[in-house]
Structure 1
């Protein structure tokens, strides 16, 4: 995918990363660190301290000891998995910042489809990637001023145990993916998805997101409210369309949405 423009590089960047062109493809700047608490927290702290972190810059950790998911869940991954965060600087005329979760989902799904085409990975609104119905990757967005930090964790080789849902890895489906190769591919996909979001609007992102989603009619539950229904696509603003048993459709703009699993008796 060809992209235009140059990306600024963090002043501390060194040793094998930075914006550069190879043919028509822009390689995003990737800063690698051995261990940190949370790559999201690190970038938020830099921004809060007045440091300029260029859009498209990625901070990627080998180990993460205090990673976070939605609703304060712990998401601490081991070496070999992808744990990284990037920054989007909002500008006048940009679509709603909330739809950046869909942008990141498109970039993530395209990357996994390219590197693990047999994984059967599917997007689940608003911010998860599933393999065989189990969580394989997640997206966490946090805003500071006019900047949004987007963190993505992907189980390439190992999966943390979560108390409330099954987890999966891409390697369990036979995909042996090098972490740094994945980081570069994801960075390029994110540049492309962001360009679409800005130049073509949310409608184009929705059209790109939906083919990667689980099928229409998939049983879902909005956990906090205990509302059950069926996936019925997305609304024009990116909200989830949840079709109830009676046929009416609800719009869910925020919430923890899970696949409804059959009740096992006995």
Structure 2
């Protein structure tokens, strides 16, 4: 991996996202590299090698040659897009590490809402951000020991073509955002969401996440089980509540969930 250099955080990002904790605005360290295989893989390797990577440290890349998403999917390197990873070090008393996907989702959705308020972006459980029903961003979490690396990819100007779902860019919706400005804003929003997760618990994150998501009643499909239902919110522990016809609402704790077209559109 090439040596990186450090980005300063745009003052506007500080004013929009700088929650004051004990009187100080926390600013995340952001390291940029021109090209790498995967920012997630790089941070995992550093941690495995014993490097002391501080919590909240971000590694972002101009290009990724081996980017990936959940379930081993590839992800477009899309120069000009946001591709970055950060680290959370788990401590005694922290909520379940799996719920960090909700934390990252809240930070991501709030960042887009603040920088592109005219865009109707919606979270989809467990780890996607949609624009007009098409995937615009995704979250990938990987754990090593007591550390979790959270990778986030955002289609700012380019989107991959996926065989099983539509994709979109923020630029195509009229939001042309500077990548480095976006990185600073996201980093600060992540600090704030992580603080809420630790201090107020998962239930507080869930309450914040729900208004940022697609509405109750949205048709969904849990791919692995082939189960269709409608979105019925989240449980307090962050599990998906899926209302299935003829059955009680079921809880989904893990899985690949897709938007499902209404029956009349499938005919």
Q: TM-score, normalised by structure 2?
A: 0.91
The answer for the alignment partner of 1:224 in structure 2 is 224
What do you get for the CA RMSD once the two structures are aligned? 1.8
Provide the rounded CA distance (Å) in 1 between the counterparts of 2:102 and 2:7. Answer: 30
Distance 1:251 1:265, change over 3 A: closer
Tell me how far 1:15 sits from its aligned partner: 4.3
Q: CA deviation at 1:246?
A: 1.7
Is 1:94 aligned to 2:94, yes or no? yes
Give the corresponding residue for 1:234: 234
Change in CA separation of 1:265 and 1:49 when aligned onto 2, cut-off 3 Å: closer
Deviation by residue 1:105-150 (Cα, 9 ceiling, x = unmatched): 0000000000111110000000000000000000000000000000
TM-score normalized with structure 1 length: 0.91
Query: Matches of residues 1-266 of structure 1 in structure 2 within 5 Å?
Result: 14-17=5-8, 24-262=24-262
d(CA) in 2 for partners of 1:206 and 1:160?
Answer: 30
Supply the distance in 1 between the matched residues of 2:266 and 2:156 (Cα, whole angstroms). Answer: 33
What is the rounded CA distance, in whole Å, between the counterparts of 2:190 and 2:239 in structure 1?
21
SS in 2 for 1:190: helix
CA contact (8 A) 1:77 1:159 kept: no
Once the 2 structures are TM-superposed, how far is the Cα of residue 177 of structure 1 from its aligned partner?
Answer: 0.3
1:5 corresponds to: none
Counterparts of 1:209 and 1:159, CA distance in 2: 25
Change in 2 beyond 3 A, CA 1:262/1:50:
same
Mark the runs of 5 or more structure 2 residues left unpaired by the alignment. Answer: 16-23
Query: Which secondary structure state, in structure 2, belongs to the residue aligned with residue 27 of structure 1?
Result: coil
1:23-76, CA deviations, whole angstroms, 9 ceiling, x for partnerless residues? 853221000000111100000000000001000000000011111111100012
